[in-house]
Structure 1
Amino acid sequence: MQTMQSKRAPETKSGAPYDVKGAFDDFMGAFEAFKDANDTRLGELETRMTADVLSTDKVDRISKSLDAQQRKLDELLLKKARPALGRSSEVGASEHKDAFEAYVRSGDERGIRSVEAKAMSIGSGSDGGYLVPVETETEIAKRLSVLSPIRSIASVRQVSTAVLKKPFALTGPATGWVGETAARTQTASPTLAELEFPAAELYAMPSATQALLEDSAVDLDTWLSDEIELAFAEQEGTAFVTGNGVNKPKGFLAYDKVAEPNWSWGSLGTIATGAAGAFAATNPADKLVDLIYALKAGYRENASFVMNRKTQAAVRKMKDGDGNYLWQPPAGVGQKASLMGFPVVEAEDMPDIAADSTAIAFGDFARGYLIVDRTGVRVLRDPYSAKPYVLFYVTKRVGGGVQDFSAIKLLKFATA
């Protein structure tokens, strides 16, 4: 159970909050130290066929430090990206927002009932609850886009129904060449099928004391968004990657996987590394190249790598034939690291490198994965179940699944 509390801004070594530039400089410094240490390790491998234990430990230690710097930078960027949600000082505040605030602070339902009656909307069935103001819902969606790695690269569609049905063509219409005056024969009709994306209910239940709710200095919009954004983002992040589709979105790793030569619609194609639970001992980066070119050219333009932090640490040590590191740090503050020229999206719900795991995904996720958000975030106030705290049962409906099976490929750590 989470309770309302003040949140301090992170401080850098200089004591200045949100020193993003300083954190970025620290990160780049750590990467240069990592390259030097790893070059020494690789040199020992070439000359002595084995690396000194101290050199290996140093590389691992600096790599962990680099990960820590990346986390710190991500946290600072997230804080900076969060939009201000302070209540407007304008006299003409929205009727819905004022009524919603009265409901959250004191449980007074009269105003919010009146507003929703005018809008011809009702609570969420037997669970009750009321819609949050549009401004608050919009800010929650913006914050989730920053926090949730897959949401940041996938297509997102707002719907007003429980299920989004999307038709697609299994086969296109027949075509052919014909002379200017030659007769045209009737072409075959395309074969259509339908994908369904049901929206499942996602909930969070933050709590606060009544005394704090009665404090007019407390910004309820900011508090509510802060309390639920992390809970929603963590649940979403897992579901979009590994969710089984039962009362939750279906993650892209939950679909059938087949070797790329045997790929067919409805499954995701895989490229094997050639070694169980590892990259190949020689020319390991060759399989990354194969993964990239398993995608058709039209998908590669906007493609990204998706992997977790441990896998990224392993890839970070790789070099090309000219001695250049394949993994490169962000070119600037707020940008993504890159691998072989493509952005790297860090998703901690991706599996670690292990036998038969698909620890790296590559594709155009905007075309490949669809997230469905049902309009409306609802709040039910409960002052009785956890006295002296007031609970807020917050729900939203989210669905998701693969919409284009040609757009995502997976690297499988297996012999075949």
Structure 2
Amino acid sequence: MTATARDRRRGSHCVTVGWNWPNEKSMEVIPMFEIRKMLEDRANLIHEARSILEKAEGEVRDLSQEEQNRWEALWGEVEALTSRIERAQRVEEAESRLAQSMDAAIRPDPGDNGDGDRALPEFQSRALHEMGADLDLSTLGRLIQPEYRTAFAAWLRRRPGERLPSAEARALQADQDIYGGYLYAPLQFVDRLIKAVDDQVFIRQWATVMAVTDGEALGAPSLDNDPADPTWTSELSIGSEDSTMSFGRRELNPHPLAKYIKISRKLLRKAPSVEGLVIQRLGYKFSVTAENAYLNGSGAGQPLGVFVASNDGIPTSRDVSADNTTTAITFDGLINAKYALKGQYWPRARWLMHRDTVKMAAKLKDSNGQYLWRESVRVGEPDRMLGFPVFMSEYAPNTFTASQYVGILGDFSFYWIADSLQMEMQRLDELFAATNQVGYVGRLESDGMPVLSEAFVRVQLAAS
């Protein structure tokens, strides 16, 4: 980036944009006192479930069928309340941010030197806010122009066969891909979509997220091996030469991710914001796909997941299975996993597991009869296990057979994600005409991978 462009960017006005919650269903705003009441109800259900276990343990017997059924029913209610509490807390956070960001607008840059390039504003999502790449302002600058945004919104809303006004058509003709039926989405649109995905996917909230242009690769050096310990020596000696330290390279190449959505023409006519509607739908669809990839992706044409053994990400040397059985985790097995993670990563470490694994862990006690899993009773605080927050994902593995992964503990800031700033949109007018719907195809490019294996520990079941 040139000095002039950098100075213009520093002098630009900060722009924040509104966004929509990316779930498929409209989200109700639940009052804070109701969230607290749900936390209390959940705590009571957990207490009742634990009482059933403790009664059987005190009588040195297994659960009867009636007790097992009751425990399963209680835990089902706990899981349902947990999901509702998490959704309510996310909506509460979203409403708070929305109040701060709604109705903000781009202002002319006083540092514009008249050459047609406008400095890029600071965006709200971390992916775009932390842009450090050498941005091509001549290519991306037009994607923040108010004229382009207005024309793009009109293109989303127009009826089949309807021609855009000449001014809006000219604004879109600046897009080199329009001849193929695609348009680049305005950067504000991409920002809102990425932020919608951020707020839906745990790992994106914790990871280091960066932006690149034109789908170019993002490379970073990595320290593969630390230097050996220094040796005591005399005042005039420089010690022995180190031969153990080595550097590697991690490279992220944003891969294309495509999805189409269908919206009824009636809804398009009545929706106050077509952009918001498209973002809401695409945000949800992209988020569930991204979360699955960040956990289970193969790394071939998609992100590399944390539950995939790979020398490019987290190798098998970071797997801990000692003291677990072939079908279940144990207290000692989780302790082994905790202490396989260096202390420097503990302040930001988190457990990530499937709800079936959490349900299994909720039954475990230490030698003093204290449960390992501690439910949260405060709004905004996650449940904890062995001192670390516990988060659940439906895409975490839950196959309880020999040698399978069933959880991970780690500092997810060492999972890196690279998002391309350019997103393509295509409108399909005729394909779904029979059902009175319009299709929108979104193409977004992203990649992700763990960049420091020692920051993670995978919980594995014992081999057979």
* 2:461 matches 1:413: yes
Mapping for residues 118-197 of structure 1, pairs under 5 Å: 122-123=176-177, 128-160=181-213, 161-171=215-225, 179-182=234-237, 191-197=246-252
Q: 1:123 deviation in Å?
A: 3.1
Q: 1:301 deviation in Å?
A: 2.1
Q: 1:266 deviation in Å?
A: 4.4
Q: Once the two structures are aligned, what percentage of the paired residues are identical?
A: 18
* 2:300 matches 1:246: yes
* 2:325 matches 1:275: yes
Q: 1:219 deviation in Å?
A: 0.9
* 2:373 matches 1:317: no
Q: Is the 8 A contact 2:255 2:447 kept in 1?
A: yes
Q: 1:64 deviation in Å?
A: 0.5
Q: Identify the structure with the greater strand proportion.
A: 1
What residue is the counterpart of 1:384 in the other structure?
A: 430
Q: SS of the counterpart of 2:203?
A: coil
Q: 1:230 deviation in Å?
A: 1.3
Q: Is the 8 A contact 1:274 1:415 kept in 2?
A: no
Q: Is the 8 A contact 1:305 1:362 kept in 2?
A: yes
Q: List per-residue Cα deviations over 1:341-396 (Å, max 9, x = no partner).
A: 101121111111411211111111112x2111111332112212221322111111
CA distance in 2, matches of 1:111, 1:336: 51
CA distance in 2, matches of 1:254, 1:404: 14
CA distance in 1, matches of 2:165, 2:261: 20
1:404 aligned to which of 452, 457, 460: 452
CA distance in 2, matches of 1:47, 1:91: 69
Q: Is the 8 A contact 2:308 2:314 kept in 1?
A: no
Q: SS of the counterpart of 2:289?
A: helix
Q: Is the 8 A contact 1:37 1:55 kept in 2?
A: no
1:360 aligned to which of 395, 403, 407: 407
Q: Is the 8 A contact 2:40 2:377 kept in 1?
A: no
Q: 1:109 deviation in Å?
A: 8.7
Cα distance change of structure 1 residues 6 and 311 upon mapping to structure 2, 3 Å threshold:
closer
CA distance in 2, matches of 1:109, 1:132: 19
* 2:395 matches 1:395: no
* 2:287 matches 1:233: yes
Q: 1:184 deviation in Å?
A: 7.6
Q: Is the 8 A contact 1:372 1:399 kept in 2?
A: yes
* 2:165 matches 1:98: no
* 2:164 matches 1:108: yes
Q: Is the 8 A contact 1:37 1:59 kept in 2?
A: yes
Give the paired residue count: 391
Q: Is the 8 A contact 2:151 2:172 kept in 1?
A: no
* 2:53 matches 1:41: yes
Structure 1, gaps ≥5 residues long: 11-16, 258-263
Q: CA RMSD in A?
A: 3.3
Q: 1:412 deviation in Å?
A: 1.0
TM-score after normalising by structure 2:
0.75
Q: 1:32 deviation in Å?
A: 2.3
Q: List per-residue Cα deviations over 1:274-313 (Å, max 9, x = no partner).
A: 311113xxxx312111101101111122111010111111
Output the amino acid matched with 1:354. Answer: F
CA distance in 2, matches of 1:225, 1:366: 26
Between stretches 269-278 and 297-306, larger displacement belongs to 269-278
Q: List per-residue Cα deviations over 1:111-154 (Å, max 9, x = no partner).
A: 56755777xx6439x85522323333222222212211222222
Cα distance change of structure 1 residues 333 and 231 upon mapping to structure 2, 3 Å threshold:
same
What residue is the counterpart of 2:113 in the other structure?
A: none
Cα distance change of structure 1 residues 7 and 361 upon mapping to structure 2, 3 Å threshold:
closer
1:287 aligned to which of 329, 333, 338: 333
CA distance in 1, matches of 2:269, 2:64: 63
Q: SS of the counterpart of 1:330?
A: coil
CA distance in 2, matches of 1:132, 1:186: 54
What residue is the counterpart of 1:19 in the other structure?
A: 31
CA distance in 1, matches of 2:443, 2:391: 27
Q: 1:37 deviation in Å?
A: 3.2
What residue is the counterpart of 1:13 in the other structure?
A: none
What residue is the counterpart of 2:92 in the other structure?
A: 80
CA distance in 2, matches of 1:21, 1:394: 39
CA distance in 2, matches of 1:378, 1:268: 40
CA distance in 1, matches of 2:317, 2:420: 27
What residue is the counterpart of 1:62 in the other structure?
A: 74
Cα distance change of structure 1 residues 77 and 377 upon mapping to structure 2, 3 Å threshold:
farther
CA distance in 1, matches of 2:154, 2:357: 48
